[in-house]
Chains A and B, each alone.
Chain A
Amino acid sequence: MNSSNKKIAVFATILVLIAMVFFVVQDSSLFTFKENTEEYIAPETGINDPSHPDYDKIENGIHLRTGFAEGEGLQLVITNCTTCHSAKLVTQNRMSEERWKATIRWMQETQNLWDLGANEDTIVNYLATQYAPIAKGRRQNFAKIEWYNLKDE
């Protein structure tokens, strides 16, 4: 979080306090304030401050803050892909090189993604390597069944 965002966060905290007092005293409904940050927050880790010791920590091959797999091009992917959307939109998908490339083109044509220039090959290679399709057939077995004793209702 940069210093201006910190100021906004402090300001928001003060506003919340004022609002709480306001509510207790007035039981009124008219207050409003700005969202405290625009930057990408990974809600499952809460690590969104560059000074956080785990900001770019990798554990068991996973970049903790974003959930991305460790690999060549990781930082480029973080920078270019998570400005607009969650890393989760990447990590839950599986595509071939051709389809990752087509997805980038679609984002450039319709979603305001910028020209990736010389970084494009590295990014596409990272995505097609780390998030390649897995054959699933026409119906899969249950992945994991958590057995439990069914009680009478």
Chain B
Amino acid sequence: MQRRKFIKRATLASMASLLGTEIVFGDTLAAGYLPLGLQEPDPFKMFNKDAQMVLLNDKPWNMEAQAHLLDDKITPNKFMFIRNNGNIPKEIDAENWTITFDGESVAREKTFTLKELKSNFKPYTYQLTLECGGNGRSEFDPPAKGNQWTIGAVSCATWTGVRLRDVLADVGIKDDAVYIAYHASDTHLSNDPSKEPISRGVPISKAMQDETLIAYQMNGTAIPIAHGYPLRLIAGGFPASASGKWVNRISIRNIIHDGPKMTGTAYRVPCEPIAPGEKIADEDMCIIESMPVKSLITYPKTGAVLQKGKSLNIRGHAWAGELKVREVAYSIDFGSTWKNCQLEQPANRLAWQHFNASIDFPQEGYYEVWAKATDENGIAQPMILPGWNPKGYLNNACHRIAIKIN
């Protein structure tokens, strides 16, 4: 489904396009109010996304990349997928933004302004892979409910912020703390003010990792509004839904957090494998933590035609949730034989790793280049769909591109 031509409401649209790119995301405005009121009807302009991004949903906004758009080592905003559960907050006042720490297991409830957060704690910058738990959902059979992500709901951008654990040390947490939960200023699709669209979190052990940030910058500038301006919790390696946007409260819980999208079948998979389509009770579903090993061929774009005798240089990225990727291999004969790719070390823990290979084809014809990554524990991507689950999470089947040699 490619982007179609948008018929624009002339005056508003042209003014919004004027203002949209230069002011809505401009640094001058980042310090103050952020007007979403322009409502540019073209979401690609409103969110500064590349025209080749694929719009899956416009209420709430959900948009994904295609494999070849993710070729950059660090994903720029224009190619970063959007996954929203509710409505983006309408008015964001970063000047007066606060974040409150509360919950059963907080030693003393405490509130910081954004400024205090920045001045009281040391900033850290990491490249962090964020992949939607439902990336690849579109391939499951029987089909799984939800936005039908193909392969583009993944990114690895540079995030800057303070360590959550530094803030938790300042606030003080009790011994019985087991989970942290985010709350945010987005609103429910039904406009019911008493409902949160999503409120997820991570176990305390994940909260205490060096790379778990309360971030205020993405790729060196203020976080774009669709990605959580002005404050976002970032827990790389976990389903991206654990990285709450527009965060204004973090609760330290003495139970596993039970907010919306934590319970039932949301971001959960069967604790024990089930047959495709089989029914399963909610209590037999387990929360997804680390995402599985996966890789993408980001160059060339699928469909490349080459002259016989030319080698093909492929490249891409591989990641493995909380783990490192040990190797990436490619096959041009549907998995009969595999050859290793060159694989780089990650820039830091939880950053995706880059791979490349030079491929020679034996004769003319149709080929598929398949890539397969293996994590540090020896677990590899499957070539076929992994275990079926009701909501279609964790499809880490091998990515492939079509090639023709003439």
- Tell me which residues across on chain A come within 8 A of B147, comparing CB atoms: 89, 92
1/0 contact trace for B115-152 toward A, CB 8 Å?
00000000000000000000000011111011110000
Chain B residue total in the interface (Cβ 8 A): 66
- Tell me which residues across on chain A come within 8 A of B33, comparing CB atoms: 29-32
- Tell me which residues across on chain B come within 8 A of A37, comparing CB atoms: 39
Residue of A nearest to B366 (CB): A145
Q: In which size bucket is the chain A interface?
A: 35 or more
Residue of A nearest to B88 (CB): A35
1/0 contact trace for B54-69 toward A, CB 8 Å?
0111111000000000
Complex formed: what's the CA distance from A46 to B10 in Å?
11
User: What is the CB-to-nearest-CB distance from B275 to chain A, in angstroms, rounded to a whole number?
Assistant: 13
With A112-B195, A136-B141, A137-B141 known as contacts, the answer to whether A88 contacts B56 (CB < 8 A) is: yes
Stretch of B14-22, B162-170, B284-292 that contacts chain A: B14-22
- Tell me which residues across on chain B come within 8 A of A84, comparing CB atoms: 59, 189-190
Residue of A nearest to B42 (CB): A43
Question: Which applies to chain A's interface (DSSP): helix, strand, loop or mixed?
Answer: loop
Tell whether, in the assembled complex, residue A36 and residue B37 are in contact, meaning their CB atoms are under 8 Å apart.
yes
With A16-B15, A142-B402 known as contacts, the answer to whether A32 contacts B145 (CB < 8 A) is: no
Complex formed: what's the CA distance from A11 to B143 in Å?
45
1/0 contact trace for A88-117 toward B, CB 8 Å?
110011111001000100000011100000
Tell whether, in the assembled complex, residue A30 and residue B143 are in contact, meaning their CB atoms are under 8 Å apart.
no
Complex formed: what's the CA distance from A112 to B60 in Å?
16
Q: Quick one: which of A29, A43, A145 contacts B303, CB cutoff 8 A?
A: A145
Complex formed: what's the CA distance from A38 to B59 in Å?
11
Tell whether, in the assembled complex, residue B12 and residue A12 are in contact, meaning their CB atoms are under 8 Å apart.
yes
- Tell me which residues across on chain A come within 8 A of B4, comparing CB atoms: 44
- Tell me which residues across on chain A come within 8 A of B337, comparing CB atoms: none
Complex formed: what's the CA distance from A83 to B126 in Å?
40
The 4 closest A-B pairs by CB, nearest first: A46-B7, A112-B190, A150-B304, A86-B59
A residues whose Cβ falls under 8 Å from a Cβ of B: 9, 12-13, 15-17, 19-20, 23, 27, 29-38, 40-47, 82, 84-86, 88-89, 92-96, 99, 103, 110-112, 133-140, 142, 145-150, 153
